[in-house]
Amino acid sequence: MSIYDNLADYGGLINLESRYISFLISNSEIYNTGSITQAGIINLVDASKLRIVDSTIYDFSSPDASFLYSTSQNVEIFIDNSDITCNRTLDITDIEEYLNLEIPDSQFTTAAQISNAKNISVS
């Protein structure tokens, strides 16, 4: 399944705000998605589980946490066999030029900001 061209204030793909929610992204391609405030893909206020499995996520941006922003205290985050790339066209040789910008590009802020979590697993 492909999901693309999404834009939101918080969480370009989804905003999760229930401690009972278990959210699964599986065998998916998600691209060209972002937020204008926070969390380009997932804004996780509260949830029990977030799983990303066998998926490709790319070309996402946000001024704060380009991929994932989480403040949930009990969430378990699992990312398995997935390719997550903020900007596929980035030329890393331009990093010095980027670091000298007066106003940095929003996709270069942190990719994931996680304030609390019960468990995080990436494999």
Residue-wise pLDDT for 31-65, tens only, equals 999 999 999 999 999 999 999 999 999 999 888 88
Which has the higher per-residue pLDDT, 110 or 105? 110
Q: What is the pTM of this model?
A: 0.82
Strands in 1-123 per DSSP E: 2-10, 14-17, 22-26, 29-38, 42-46, 49-53, 56-61, 68-70, 76-80, 83-85, 112-114, 119-122
Total domains in the chain come to 1
Domain range holding 50? 2-122
Mean of the pLDDT values across residues 81-95? 77
Can you give the pLDDT at residue 9? 95
